[in-house]
Amino acid sequence: MGDYLYRTRSNWFYFIAVLTIGLIVAVSYLAVNRPFDALISAMNTAAIAAIFWVFVVGPKIIYTDNHIEIHNPFNIVVIGWLKAEDFVTKYSFTVITGSKKISAWAAPAPGAISSRRIQRTDYRGTALESRLVVSSSESSKAESGVAFILALKHKEAALTNGTASESMETRPNWLSIALVVGGTLALLSNFIQ
C-alpha cells in the first residue's frame, strides 16, 4: 500500500495566518522608522511560529506497510501493526497496545456541533457502513475518523501482505523540544528587555 502521511490541512492555514500577522506588525514598525522594534517583532513572530509549529502543525501520523508512526509534540511512537490491538476515537485517534494507549495529536475527535452534521451516507466506502452503530468520531468527516479508517485499511493490507511487524518504540522528538525551548527563551529574553 505504501507510506502515507496524515496531517490536518487546516492547521497550515492557521500557521500561515500567524506568520502573516507577525510580518504585518514587523513591516509596520519599519514603515514608521523603528527598525529595533521591527527586529524584536520579527524575533517574537519566529519564536511564536516555532512553538505553534510544534503543537499545531508538527503532529502527524505516518502509515507504512509494517507499522504506524505517531508524531506528537515531544515524542515519536512507532507501533507495529501486530502490536496494535485496537483503535479508539473517543477524544482523539488512539492506538491501544497490550500495555499502552497512544493518542495522536494530529487527529482529534469532533465536538458536539460537528457530530450533528454527519449523515449515514458519509460512511460509504469506509469499511464502516456494515456496522449498526458508528460514532461521529469514526466518520470520514472527522479527523479522528480519517485516521481510524486509514489505520484499519493499512493494518488489513499489512496483515494480508505479511509485512506487519510486532515492534514498538518510543523516542523523544528532539527537534520539537529544541524549538519549544528556543522559542520560549527568545520570547522571555524579549520581554525582559
pLDDT digit string, tens, across residues 53-98: 999 999 999 999 999 999 999 999 999 999 999 998 888 899 999 8
Cα end-to-end distance, the chain, whole Å = 54
Residues 46 and 69 in one domain: no
Task: Identify whether 151 is part of a domain.
Answer: yes
Residues 93 and 134 in one domain: yes
Task: Identify whether 1 is part of a domain.
Answer: no
Number of domains observed in the structure of the chain:
2
Strand partners, 86: 96
Residues 39 and 70 in one domain: no
Task: Identify whether 2 is part of a domain.
Answer: no
Residues 46 and 87 in one domain: no
Residues 168 and 95 in one domain: yes
Residue 133 has pLDDT above 50, yes or no: no
- pTM listed for this prediction: 0.81
What is the domain range of residue 91?
Answer: 60-172
Q: What is the mean predicted confidence (pLDDT) over 100-109? A: 88
Residues 185 and 106 in one domain: no
Residues 91 and 24 in one domain: no
Alpha carbons 126 and 135: distance in angstroms, whole number: 13
Strands 67-71 vs 101-108: parallel, antiparallel or unpaired: unpaired
